[in-house]
């Protein structure tokens, strides 16, 4: 007898749903039975993601929202609950990488923007969605952190600080929400490619003109790969399985951890 898909009858809210990682995880959760609520600031990216999900036979709806606005988050979550009835799963994934430069040259406005999106925005979503989950006595949450929040990366003061904060927020939320039957974990991808984010990081590290990387993007790419024990970057498709595990009852006694998806970087 075939068992029901792991997420049958559950709704997954995915912030940053217009991006590559958000979409890849949405496809995986949908393939295991979840209905998908995609949330992003960019309506065009959202619609492209939703179209791919619908084409694959998923149930999916879009919600345009600026996660740095708590009122907007509350309105969006209310709309999602009205649409789907409940939210059982959350991938708290919206993020912004920001500028690359040594800390004494790092633009203050850019630092503020990264922190607003990656930390304040993540807190807003976590606060509002977890309040809904507490009322129901059930919830599974994964926050997207980064290996930049495990080892402080050169030339990335804002992004590194923001992802360290996400790891800390995960550990605190796991303790606060455990009595309510809600698990909270994080994932920390390292170098993921190919694509826009990989190319951008390589280019901007080259332009930062630091002792840590060459000024030649091709050499920077080699230096990054050489720092990975598995000697390659990870593919976007190598992230969703870990998230699906953490959101599923297969991880029923797992909370408060940060899983490195890093090819061996620790």
pLDDT of residue 1: 37
Residue 67 within any structural domain of the chain: yes
State pTM to two decimals.
0.95
Give the CATH number for residue 93. 3.40.50.720
Domain of 156 in residue numbering reads as: 11-192+235-261
What size, in residues, is the chain? 266
Which candidate in 96, 159, 212, 233 is catalytic? Answer: 159
Residue 221 within any structural domain of the chain: no
235: which residues sit within 8 A by CB, 6+ positions away?
A: 192, 193
Residue 248 within any structural domain of the chain: yes
pLDDT of residue 3: 62
Residue 6 within any structural domain of the chain: no
Written as tens digits, the pLDDT of the chain (266 aa) is 346 799 999 999 999 999 999 999 999 999 999 999 999 999 999 999 999 999 999 999 999 999 999 999 999 999 999 999 999 999 999 999 999 999 999 999 999 999 999 999 999 999 999 999 999 999 999 999 999 999 999 999 999 999 999 999 999 999 999 999 999 999 999 999 998 889 999 999 999 999 999 999 999 999 999 999 999 999 999 999 999 999 999 999 999 999 999 999 98
pLDDT of residue 112: 98
Residue 131 within any structural domain of the chain: yes
**108 to 55, 95, 113, 170, 214: CA distances (angstroms):** 43, 18, 9, 26, 25
Q: Report the SS3 class of residue 121.
A: helix
pLDDT of residue 4: 76
**87 to 13, 43, 218: CA distances (angstroms):** 7, 21, 44
Residue 199 within any structural domain of the chain: no
Q: How many domains does the chain have?
A: 1
Please compute Rg for the chain using Cα positions: 18
| Residue 245 known to be catalytic | no
Chain centre to alpha carbon of residue 38: 13
pLDDT of residue 127: 98
Residue 47 within any structural domain of the chain: yes
Residue 1 within any structural domain of the chain: no
* Residue 138 token pair: 């059930």
């Amino acid at each position: 007898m075939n068992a029901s898909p792991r997420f049958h009858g559950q709704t997954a809210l995915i912030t940053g749903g217009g991006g590559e990682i958000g979409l890849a995880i949405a496809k995986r959760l949908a393939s295991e039975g979840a209905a998908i609520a995609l949330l992003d600031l960019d309506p065009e990216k959202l619609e492209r993601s939703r179209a791919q999900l619908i084409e694959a036979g998923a149930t999916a709806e879009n919600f345009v929202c600026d996660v740095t606005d708590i009122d907007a988050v509350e309105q969006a979550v209310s709309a999602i609950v009205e649409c789907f009835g409940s939210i059982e799963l959350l991938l708290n994934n919206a993020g912004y990488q920001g500028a690359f430069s040594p800390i004494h040259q790092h633009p203050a406005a850019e630092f503020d923007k990264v922190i607003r999106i990656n930390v304040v925005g993540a807190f807003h979503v976590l606060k509002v969605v977890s309040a809904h989950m507490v009322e129901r006595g059930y919830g599974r949450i994964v926050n997207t952190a980064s290996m930049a929040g495990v080892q402080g990366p050169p030339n990335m003061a804002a992004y590194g600080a923001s992802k360290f904060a996400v790891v800390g927020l995960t550990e605190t939320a796991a303790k606060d929400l455990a009595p309510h039957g809600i698990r909270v974990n994080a994932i920390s991808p390292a170098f993921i490619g190919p694509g826009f984010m990989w190319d951008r990081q390589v280019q901007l590290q080259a332009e930062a003109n630091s002792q840590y990387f060459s000024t030649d993007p091709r050499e920077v790419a080699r230096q990054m790969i050489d720092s990975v024990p598995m000697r390659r970057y990870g593919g976007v498709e190598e992230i969703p399985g870990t998230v699906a595990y953490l959101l599923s009852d297969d991880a029923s006694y797992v909370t408060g951890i940060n899983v490195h998806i890093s090819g061996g970087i620790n």
